[in-house]
Structure 1
């Protein structure tokens, strides 16, 4: 990630999940907070998301999941690692069972936001994660 003034976030709905409302709302919240958002929309494969991550040089990846697409999130994490991009903050949102949340965090998802999460909690998490990453890359 190069130096830039605004945080750049890629938002996508993974797999055959057609629930786009949450990802669209979060995208708008992040844009209103001054972030640059690359919105891929629904029906994205891990490979499509990876290509967009590479092309767009994002700071954060936000994945929406409501349809048990957890295996595809893990696949995306593997692709990021294989391409030396596993230092990018990956967050997820949606209706994800607690057991799956624990598994996704073990595999490398930084944070998971449930439908009851506040706008402020999402914004604050992203800002603090990008700040931590920038400090780590300097040291």
Structure 2
């Protein structure tokens, strides 16, 4: 298989590459989506940290702090999103990382999205979202947060 080299410093500005933490909160065992998005971010020149399965909100927040990430991308299919996602957002605030952009992917009922947005999620990506759309949104959100013109 032929691969194309990726320049790590593709992100504009003096801040360096976008750093994304991909995490699977709770007991969800389905990580294919998380791995697909992690690869899409990596292929787009972003630095990716994948925490693996069964992460607690506190573990995710500590990893976001220790890795100094711009984005926490959460993948959840277990149905526990209304409990776990607000806890991750609170844990990020508790460790002083309320500046991190939180994105969620998974099968989230439309009626649950407003609650997640109120908890601190920037955007929810449901089934059918393309990796191109997710990467583009991530770049735009980070550029806005960094104060960079896009």
- Give every structure 1 segment of 4 or more consecutive aligned residues whose post-TM-superposition deviation is greater than 6 Å: none
Once the two structures are TM-superposed, the CA of residue 92 in structure 1 deviates from its matched residue by: 0.3
Name which one, 1 or 2, has greater alpha-carbon Rg: 2
- Residues matched between the structures, number: 134
Which residue of structure 1 lines up, in the alignment, with residue 7 of structure 2? none
Note if contact 2:22-2:50 (Cα within 8 Å) is conserved in structure 1.
yes
Asked if 1:27 corresponds to 2:38, the answer is yes
Instruction: Judging by fraction of residues, say which structure has more strand.
Output: 1
SS at match of 1:16: coil
Aligned ranges 1:10-89 → 2 under 5 Å = 10-70=21-81, 71-89=83-101
Flag the structure with higher helix content.
1
**Using the alignment, how far apart are the partners of 1:86 and 1:69 within structure 2?**
22
> RMSD of the TM alignment (CA)?
1.2
Does 1:91 find its partner at 2:99? no
Find the partner of 2:19 among 8, 12, 25: 8
The Cα offsets for residues 14-69 of structure 1, whole Å up to 9 and x where unpaired, read as: 00011100000000011001000000111000011111011100000000010112
Q: Which consecutive residues of structure 1, in runs of 5 or more, have no partner in the other structure?
A: none
